[in-house]
Structure 1
């Protein structure tokens, strides 16, 4: 069925917009007063950033969400980091490193004279203590909801039967840490720049029981360390979290080993409503926020705000589950969906400036990107022909889209859904809309393969094909073919073999061939668009360097006097 506008809806929506704007202005005025008090109360120069959500904790190992990492990456550092403005790996707590020829042994030469916020010395023993902590997680700590990035990167733990990429960590001297792997992996060393693998103080973690996590139904109760005493080596250190006032305060680390932060304090004000974040920026209550509505960007610039658009390092795709609708197991039907969608129109009508139609499941800046893949230009007649050949000319699909969410790759889920559902119906495909809140059933149902056709995407964590297509398709049990497609095991095996390949040139060719197969032989989903997410700050903010990984660090930031 079509998704149209019932008569009279325009006026009622306008009324709701006026009411919402009034409420947003009222909330912004109240919040601005609270934030101004925070800004002035601590003395010195403070920046207030509007965060879209509250972190559940401040121990990055147990986290997987962007709002938690936005805070913890200001306090924590890993062995490696990413060069500002790029996805290129660079030294952090390790000054340099080298690997064995077979890629199974990595030697990291550590910075000397570095201390954790509690005064504990940073050295090789501290590095190995962190790796051993991660590998030896038990009970709730092994839950994928907590140790997501460990499982995605390293696999199993010491006490389970799942194979692990991690073998051991040795400290031959205080400034040398040797990490041993069970096999070579394309993830290294870049994956060690993930926020979850930040090196934290062994002293503080032991003192405040960092691993004391207990399950509470579908949620978890975290340790005193995770809630009140996160301890890293970064340019900011934890000051306070006022849950009633929804604000997190970090203060400058005066003993930082590198260039000290220019701000005295960094405040994250939690404001879930995007319209309220905008009103707070306009009123001066905050100094910046992330992911402004693309429709607001031009107006914000006209009013003198600094809107920076990051380079796109993400993918929006039309997912196709082969579990609940047998018709979608036919390659001809999946190709019909690909011909049906008009990606050019989608980008023009629903994406911010700088967005591009996607041909593959990651940007062309990532290794293994071939230009000669199978392409599916918008062709409704070709889609209809394929459906007839497959015997599904009366195809009906459930098309799922998420509510209560804005993602870097999906700035307007409703608008994107409307655009694509119109394309599908033009090709003779009957669409049954299904919408659920992002954290109210959408993600969990999609991940279990319950959605037939759905909107989803990914922002890259680091520059590696495995971080994109390995994450999507590297298992025979995933959202696309929860009951394995005939080629599901073959694709998973090919992805694992590419990840294991130690020779970079051979590995890149393997990924190139996999990408060709993804578009011509498998087509488990349809790549749609790469979208450049924006971040906005007041004209007083200087020195903010945007990250294609949406992983900005605020230490270089200052406020114009």
Structure 2
């Protein structure tokens, strides 16, 4: 039976703020439980349902609740079996066939099979679910065919090479069809009652307060890199939220938390001599921390001007001051640990204020009134101003302040517009009255570049349009052969930087801290999500 889904339009999810303590499977939180830890998150996401929401933060706990059809091995990034034992791709690259494990049960004792996979796919493409990232990850998915109790074919409308990468991500984790059916008419309620097949089960969720998981005692079907269960495993994990950066190290030091994400770099530097606290840096694949440059608005509509901005930004100094040397300088539109990174990016636009000033002069920008700022080449001779949208995350306000100071050397006046959240940022971007905006996303496969740099990309906030770049990025999504994709993505990276469409700052490194009793803390290849099945508590 072939089920084809209709074209789906993305609609922002509506979150009903409902506090719910009774979650399935229910469990009472016992602060005296043996092998119990507190894991600190940096913010409370707008929602915890990976099919509906897209925050990286939600994946930290939910990666433990859900298994995926396949996984990426954290050692080499290669694909390994998960809930699927093996898979194959048709010659026309339009059918992906999966054979499934036959020994798996969901936390509610529902049997895992092909029907369960189908139920999850149906939910993601259903308009009522209002899926965000999960739906995007499915790419050109057009339906499925059930070929047996434990086998399923996924059908594509056109070849989509990132599909395996997508299926390895938490956002396409497989949920219990029984639980999904129970909340089918209230998809926003499912986040409080999530049921997967993973090594941990959801016990309690109180929005903006805590999320509690407990170990799944029946879990024996994890990927090859999961360790077998033993007495030193973490039995219960309570996730709490530490939005204020200074409180994170304090929580570790006081024993309030055992593991903490995103330790501020200055604090992390001071931890190096602390025998009670361990530091676990995790490189995050995807886009670097960057500013997208608007090519449609004066003065960044001029190539030489854009190139001067990149050349005139001392990124090494920014990384030393803000990130204490923990993060490498970023040179291009993807990080060096992202698939198909072009090594020719290394050292591109290295800081040179004199060359930047010369570029500006060649484009007609001079300080005619000698007030310290370059003037508009037009007859009005107004000071040149560059408008920057500055969100609060990733120390972006500190970065923007340093850029503002550095650009004064070039004679450029940077106007900073702080925004409190993503929705406000999106409103300003929609209005179009900006020159730079700080935004980036994460992923191992660089297919995410399409939404940022193709003419009709949903986040083409540079406004750049080039048929050749469009062709390269679309072709890279169609091809399976890695050498071909490497060439296409390499050329695309070069074109993006030749046109100075971004100001890359640093490769994102998540600085995680843990008390000394924590052993085996590692992260998946995406850099955000810990493998809690491998964490052990050192016994006294």
TM-score w.r.t. length of structure 2: 0.83
Q: Deviations over 1:355-405 (max 9, x none)?
A: 2222211123434333345932222232223223333442211123223x3
**1:291 Cα deviation after fit:** 0.6
Distance 1:536 1:77, change over 3 A: same
2:511 maps to which residue? 534
2:440 maps to which residue? 457
Distance 1:238 1:454, change over 3 A: same
1:254 maps to which residue? 217
**1:45 Cα deviation after fit:** 1.7
Give the alignment of 1:516-527 within 5 angstroms: 516-520=494-498, 522-527=499-504
Instruction: Measure the CA separation in 1 of the matches of 2:78 and 2:61.
Output: 21
1:29 maps to which residue? none
**Secondary structure of 1:172's partner?**
strand
Counterpart check, 1:476 vs 2:456: yes
Counterpart check, 1:390 vs 2:381: no
Counterpart check, 1:198 vs 2:173: yes
Distance 1:450 1:90, change over 3 A: farther
Please say if residues 352 and 531 of structure 1, whose CA atoms lie closer than 8 Å, have aligned partners that are also in contact.
no
Q: Which structure shows the higher helix fraction?
A: 1
Q: Please, which runs of 5 or more residues in structure 2 have no aligned partner?
A: 1-27, 222-227, 367-374, 376-383
**1:489 Cα deviation after fit:** 4.9
Task: Please tell me the root mean square deviation across aligned C-alpha atoms, in Å.
Answer: 2.5
Instruction: Measure the CA separation in 2 of the matches of 1:283 and 1:560.
Output: 18
Give the alignment of 1:309-388 within 5 angstroms: 309-314=281-286, 315-323=288-296, 325-372=297-344, 375-388=348-361
2:21 maps to which residue? none
Please say if residues 48 and 269 of structure 1, whose CA atoms lie closer than 8 Å, have aligned partners that are also in contact.
yes
Q: Deviations over 1:103-132 (max 9, x none)?
A: 211111211210011111101121122112
Instruction: Measure the CA separation in 2 of the matches of 1:271 and 1:238.
Output: 20
Q: Please, which runs of 5 or more residues in structure 1 have no aligned partner?
A: 1-36, 156-164, 214-221
Instruction: Measure the CA separation in 2 of the matches of 1:417 and 1:548.
Output: 29
Instruction: Measure the CA separation in 1 of the matches of 2:244 and 2:266.
Output: 16
**1:350 Cα deviation after fit:** 2.1
Instruction: Measure the CA separation in 2 of the matches of 1:556 and 1:87.
Output: 17
Equivalent pairs, count: 484
Counterpart check, 1:558 vs 2:536: yes
Distance 1:473 1:539, change over 3 A: same
Q: 1:103 aligns with which of 93, 98, 101?
A: 93
2:38 maps to which residue? 48
1:296 maps to which residue? 267
Distance 1:397 1:242, change over 3 A: closer
Distance 1:477 1:548, change over 3 A: closer
2:14 maps to which residue? none
Give the alignment of 1:378-527 within 5 angstroms: 378-393=351-366, 394=375, 395-403=384-392, 405=393, 407=394, 412-439=395-422, 441-446=424-429, 449-458=432-441, 460-461=442-443, 463-467=444-448, 469-476=449-456, 481=461, 484-485=463-464, 487-520=465-498, 522-527=499-504
Counterpart check, 1:183 vs 2:151: no
- Larger displacement relative to structure 2 (325-334 or 231-240): 325-334
Instruction: Measure the CA separation in 1 of the matches of 2:461 and 2:422.
Output: 22
**1:55 Cα deviation after fit:** 3.9
Q: Deviations over 1:181-233 (max 9, x none)?
A: 11212212111112110111111111233x524xxxxxxxx12x222x21110
1:276 maps to which residue? 247
